[in-house]
Amino acid sequence: MTEHFRVVELPLTVDEFRRLPRNPAYKYEYFGGRCVLTPRPKLFGCARDLSAVAAEPWEPVEVRHLPAADAPGLADLFAAALGRTQPFESLDDAAADAALAATYRKTLSGEDGPLIEAACFRAVDPREASRGDVGGVLVTLAPPEVLTEPFAGVWKGPPPADAVERRLGVPHLTWVFVHPWEVRRGVGSALLAAVVEALRGLGFSDLASTFALDNGPSALWHWRHGFRLLPQMSALHRRWEARRAAGG
C-alpha cells in the first residue's frame, strides 16, 4: 500500500497553509506559494491472542467462508471500503482505481504472504440478497519474526508451499473491509470473530495486524478488539542506543 503514496502540491497562501489540517501520513512544507506534502506513512504492528471475540452485530449479518477462487469478486467492495483512506484518497479517480486494484491483487497473489484460505470470510446481509456482500476479511501468513522484529512482515524468500499447514508463521489480518454504508453496525467484529475461531481450529495461537497512524477508526477498532502494540519499535530503539553506546 505504501508504494501508492504520492507527493501532493497545493497552491495556498501562507495563512491558508497554517490553517490546513495536518495528516500524520505526510510531512508539510511551504515553498513560494505552494504547500508540499511529502509522504511519511507510519505503520504500527499489533497483535492479540485468539481468545473469543464478542461479536454482536446491531443488525443481521451472515458470515460465510470466502474461497480463494471467489475472493476476486470482492474487489469492488474492497475499493469502496478503502477509497476514502490514504494513499488512495489523494489520487485522481483513475490512479486510485488502479492502485486499489493492484493492492487487492497483491494480497490475493500471495505477495503479502500465503493466503490462509480457511480464515478468509465474507459478510452478507441476509435480509437483502440483491445487495450482495457488505464486508470481507483476508488473512495471510506472516514470518514468525513479525511479533518481535521491526519491519519483519514480509518473507525474505518464498515460504514453503505447506507453510500454512505446518504453521511456520503468524496469521496476519491483512485486510478487513466493510462497505461505507455498513460501518458501525458490527460487521467487522463479526468477521473478526469468524477469523479467530477458524485460526484456533488450525492450531494457531496469535493474530497479528497493522494499522496506519492516520487511520484513527482503524486504530480504535484494533484497541477495542484486544489488539496491543508489538515491541518492534522498542527493539529498534534499543539497537540504536546500543550502537550509539558502542560508538557506531
Closest CA to 78 of 139, 127, 141, 137: 137
How many CB atoms are closer than 10 A to CB 93?
8
Would you state the pLDDT for residue 197?
Answer: 97
Would you state the pLDDT for residue 141?
Answer: 98
Alpha-carbon gap, residue 80 to 92, rounded angstroms: 15
The secondary structure of residue 85, as a DSSP letter, is S
Would you state the pLDDT for residue 236?
Answer: 59
Would you state the pLDDT for residue 151?
Answer: 75
* Inter-CA distances, 22 with 92, 200, 207, Å: 20, 41, 32
Phi, psi (degrees; rounded to nearest 5) at 182? -115, 5
Alpha-carbon gap, residue 140 to 157, rounded angstroms: 15
Would you state the pLDDT for residue 5?
Answer: 85
**Global confidence as pTM:** 0.87
Strands 170-178 and 26-31: unpaired
Torsion of CA 102, 106, 112, 114, to 10 degrees: 160
Alpha-carbon gap, residue 230 to 220, rounded angstroms: 16
Alpha-carbon gap, residue 212 to 40, rounded angstroms: 11
Residue ranges of the chain that CATH labels 3.40.630.30: 43-237
CATH architecture of 43-237: 3-Layer(aba) Sandwich (3.40)
Alpha-carbon gap, residue 191 to 34, rounded angstroms: 44
Would you state the pLDDT for residue 6?
Answer: 86
Would you state the pLDDT for residue 235?
Answer: 61
Averages of pLDDT over each 10 residues, the chain, 248 residues: 83 94 91 93 92 81 95 97 91 94 97 97 82 92 91 88 97 97 92 97 97 91 94 63 68
Cell 477469523 sits at which residue? Answer: 195
